[in-house]
Amino acid sequence: MPVNPEDLKIPELFYSEASGKPFDTCIDCNKDLLRGNQEYVIEKAFKKYPDYNANDTIFEYAICIECAEQLFMSFSESSRKAIEEYFKQHVDIENQLKNLSKIDTFNLDDHLNKCMVKGVTIENLQEYQMVCYCRGNQISIFRPPYMISGEAADEVMQLLSNATIDVLNRFTDEFLGLPPEFKDLFKDKPMLVF
């Protein structure tokens, strides 16, 4: 059964909360993301406040694939290897892709409700991040979107060299403009790795 393009439209979950619209520019080079077949990545980080029954978006951005790759290549070689190894060991990527290709039976909400590494669901998480690979106004069919728990993200960060952590901190400082109370919490956390 051919994939219906409507089914691959970027869900509102991945719209910019700041504008209420789809992301349209790369946070780094300001390239137009919605024109043509530009590939890019959207990342959002959330924190829950169970006492207040509230949910905050801590940061959100979109970055073109060229800038994302450049950032990844500026990580140290040992960090890049460690990240790739971690995801190879903990995530069944082929199975995820198989699911996404069966788009008529694939439930994106269910898929994003579960940490891709730990299998924990959102109701049991305090912190989590979501990543969506896109092309124009659609989800990329080559890389399924995913959710990753704070715990799994921490495990990845522990594998990184100090040089790579410096790169990530510079990226966070330059582009994400986090308020001081979140700086420590989500320091080193932009992923862009899978």
Binding mask 32-71 for Zn ion (x = CB under 5 A): --------------------------------x--x----
Asked if 28 is part of the footprint of Zn ion (rule: CB under 5 A), the reply reads yes
How many Å apart are CA 152 and CA 144, to the nearest integer?
Answer: 18
Cβ nearer to Zn ion, comparing 63 with 156: 63
Euclidean distance between CA atoms 22 and 12, whole angstroms: 8
Which residues fall within 8 angstroms of residue 125, CB to CB, at 6 or more apart? 48, 115, 149, 150
User: 173 near 42, Cβ under 8 Å?
Assistant: no
Our CB check for Zn ion shows the closer of 134 and 147 to be: 134
Contact residue for Zn ion among 4, 7, 21, 29 (CB under 5 A): 29
Mark the segment that binds Zn ion (CB under 5 A) among 1-9, 21-29, 41-49, 163-171. 21-29
- Nearest distance from residue 24's CB to Zn ion, in Å? 12
Per DSSP bridges, beta strands 138-139 and 127-135 are antiparallel
Among 8, 10, 26, 193, binds Zn ion (CB under 5 A): 26
Query: What is the distance between the alpha carbons of residues 47 and 56, in angstroms, rounded to a whole number?
Result: 5
What's the min distance (Å) between Cβ of 166 and Zn ion? Answer: 21
Tokens 């390239």 belong to residue = 31
Interface positions with Zn ion (CB under 5 A): 26, 28-29, 31, 64, 67
